[in-house]
Structure 1
Amino acid sequence: MLIKMAFTLLMLFTLNCYAGIELTTEQSSAKKTGIILYNQYKATSAIPFLTTAAEAGDHEAQYYLGEALRKKNHYMNKEAKKWYEASAGQNDLYAMIQLGRIEHDMCEISSDCPPSQKQPIEWLNQAKKIAQEKAEAGDAEAMYIMYEITLDDTWLEKSASAGNAFAQYWMAVSIKQGDGFFLPWKRSEAFEKWFKLSAEGGYPKSMMEYAAILYERGDIEGFRNWNEQAALASYATTVFGYGSDLAHEPDTFGYPLDLIKGYALIYWLSELDGGGGMKENVEYTLPRIAAKMTAEQIEAAKKFSKEWAASHPPLSFFPDKLSR
């Protein structure tokens, strides 16, 4: 169940309440592939796939294409802005917010952008109007968007209380970092509560935060459980840790030695040749595991890796959809 919930969360911010155009099977597949690559920190590789769906008029693909182009160029260039505006023109709230943040972007400073359809504040006001209507109707994601627009913590708490696992994560982080007024022991209880709710809602980053809390408490079994759940959800950072633990590289958390599964998980991560530092981790760790194995075991592990990849969600770093 948690695997399904995490995969749903992986795609959660690829969905929007506004009905878009209907893509062909090929275009839909390209969009899905593009978003997967984007979530693996492969923005450049994602661009041609996202372009296919964006040119067909899909607002979500247009938004992610704007994101990918902005990340590739390290600032909002005219091509990225074009796709954000195409997406925002279809009432995509995330695109509106990014356009609302453009005011002091290098794109504007260097005069590299074409004239805007609207001023940044106009996009933010439009996003706020739409999001507030939806939030007041009970939409938990819209409540979180209201928080992003207004920076009013009340909206973050409302979204978290309404069950948004992403908002619950940031609610926990905010409290942990010192926001709000709590007695010391009440503060720890508060952020633990939100991390736990978010973890149970399928958000892998919260799974690892809650696992760390349990580990500090001496609950090693609880740690191992949530660590494994995050790996099953294909959270790349945890897949690496879990695979290393199984192969005893090092043996930190008392997992039974399983060289084949450990090698298989680290080998699976070889496809992450973008950001996140995973390539370097794999290149260091995989030979160390292989040194303990026979050639037959390594071949079995590679086969296991393919089977695992086919039966689990795509690897992801679970980046925030609304990036800075």
Structure 2
Amino acid sequence: MKKTITLLFLALSTLCMNAFAALTQEQVIAKEKGLILFNQFKISSALPYLEIASNAGDQDSQYYLGEALRQRNRYMTADARKWYEAAASQGNLYAMVQLGRSSNDLCKTMNNCPESSPPPANWLQEARRFAEPKAEQGDAEAMYIMYEITLNRDWLERSANAGHSIAQFWMAIGDKQGEGFLLPWKRKESVGNWFKASAEGGNPRAMMEYAAFLYENGGDLEVARHWIKAAAEYGYEGGVTSYGAYLAHAPERFGFELDLIKGYAITSLLKELDEGRSMQSYVEEVLPEIAEKMTPQQIKEAEAFSVQWKKTHPPLSFFPDKLSR
């Protein structure tokens, strides 16, 4: 099997002659734009940008192009597989895992899966061959990959204990849902500790979950407000939505001091997510509600504030899981 994979890697290298070449400035810009659009669920808009960097041999772009094509069609297409395999040929473990998972893909039900060589199970074995030695040496991300390959929660816990913020997030979710062997009075404590660790590790989804945990369990609301603001400053859609609404008291929650200008400004940023789920209906409902409480001058100040915010903060993102299902 190892020989088969090696031969496949050699064959796939012909897909992109510049597989390991550095990207030009234009290609870097295309990659960044493609990833921003992908993370905003603007899949169709992201495709041409990701294609530019993928054709230049960038494995991250190749992986996300495979993701975009699979998500757009809701199953593994021949084009999606081609780009996953191009990324996998450069050692991309995430691409290997997605190829391995394709044995359970919707295309099986539809009976139109692209031909795979090697079979999906072999890709998982190859991913494990690369990841397990790194995991055993203490690599937190490799431990998380091992969890995704094996679904063995021990790997997830090891990754979380090694500081991987995504693993910490899923440990919290698992504990919250009753997984693992914890005494009832210890489970809630564990959930809070894992969400806190993940938030401190820079995971904006965990920041919002930890804020909600504090709110629901009588915790320090000043700390909760800190994490909601931090999630918004990361560009996380959930953080921006909540921070803007709570500043404008639409509704009043978490004890935020009323600030209509900032609340309107931050909420208005969500207009950019015009392809992201039902966001526009939310903006069209909440923004006029806030505006009713404001003077024309305040709205003008809010518009200026939103322009400045965009210049000084990351682009909005839904922060989807890198290994999506």
Post-superposition offset of 1:97: 0.7
> 1:317 corresponds to which residue?
318
> 2:59 corresponds to which residue?
59
Distance 1:115 1:74 in 2: 17
Post-superposition offset of 1:282: 0.7
Contact 1:81 1:113 in 2 (8 A): no
Contact 2:23 2:56 in 1 (8 A): yes
Post-superposition offset of 1:83: 0.9
> 1:96 corresponds to which residue?
96
**Could you tell which deviates more after superposition, 111-120 or 258-267?**
111-120
> 1:299 corresponds to which residue?
300
> 1:21 corresponds to which residue?
21
> 2:150 corresponds to which residue?
150
Post-superposition offset of 1:113: 4.3
Contact 2:77 2:114 in 1 (8 A): no
- Residue 140 (structure 1) aligned with residue 140 (structure 2): yes
> 1:275 corresponds to which residue?
276
Gaps of 5+ in 2: 1-18
1:160-191 CA distance string (max 9 Å, x none): 01100110010111111111111111111112
1:111-156 CA distance string (max 9 Å, x none): 5444323110111110010011211222110100000001111110
> 1:131 corresponds to which residue?
131
> 1:257 corresponds to which residue?
258
What code does the residue aligned with 2:250 have? E
Contact 1:78 1:107 in 2 (8 A): no
> 1:236 corresponds to which residue?
237
Distance 2:109 2:103 in 1: 9
1:225-251 CA distance string (max 9 Å, x none): 221111111111121111011111122
Distance 1:239 1:176 in 2: 25
**Could you tell which deviates more after superposition, 40-49 or 216-225?**
216-225
1:253-277 CA distance string (max 9 Å, x none): 3222211111111111100012232
Contact 1:63 1:83 in 2 (8 A): yes
Contact 1:215 1:223 in 2 (8 A): yes
Distance 2:139 2:155 in 1: 11
SS of equivalent to 2:117: coil
- The TM-score with structure 2 as length reference comes to 0.90
What code does the residue aligned with 1:135 have? A
- The root-mean-square deviation of aligned C-alpha atoms, in Å, is 1.5
Percent of aligned positions that are identical: 58
Are residues 179 and 106 of structure 1, via their aligned partners in 2, closer, same or farther at CA, if it must alter by over 3 Å? closer
SS of equivalent to 1:115: coil
Post-superposition offset of 1:278: 1.5
Distance 2:200 2:296 in 1: 40
What code does the residue aligned with 1:224 have? R
SS of equivalent to 2:305: helix
Q: What count of residue pairs does the alignment treat as equivalent?
A: 306
Contact 1:175 1:190 in 2 (8 A): yes
Contact 1:85 1:117 in 2 (8 A): no
Post-superposition offset of 1:158: 0.9
SS of equivalent to 1:101: helix
Post-superposition offset of 1:220: 2.0
> 2:192 corresponds to which residue?
192
Distance 2:301 2:324 in 1: 39
What code does the residue aligned with 2:116 have? S
What code does the residue aligned with 1:285 have? V
Distance 1:127 1:287 in 2: 51
Query: 1 or 2 for the larger relative contact order (CA 8 Å, sep ≥6)?
Result: 1
Post-superposition offset of 1:206: 1.2
Q: Equivalences for 1:42-53 in 2 at 5 Å?
A: 42-53=42-53
Contact 1:40 1:272 in 2 (8 A): yes
Post-superposition offset of 1:108: 4.4
Distance 2:241 2:301 in 1: 19
Contact 2:76 2:114 in 1 (8 A): no
> 1:72 corresponds to which residue?
72
**Could you tell which deviates more after superposition, 245-254 or 89-98?**
245-254
> 1:4 corresponds to which residue?
none
Contact 1:175 1:191 in 2 (8 A): yes
Distance 2:308 2:240 in 1: 15
SS of equivalent to 2:182: coil
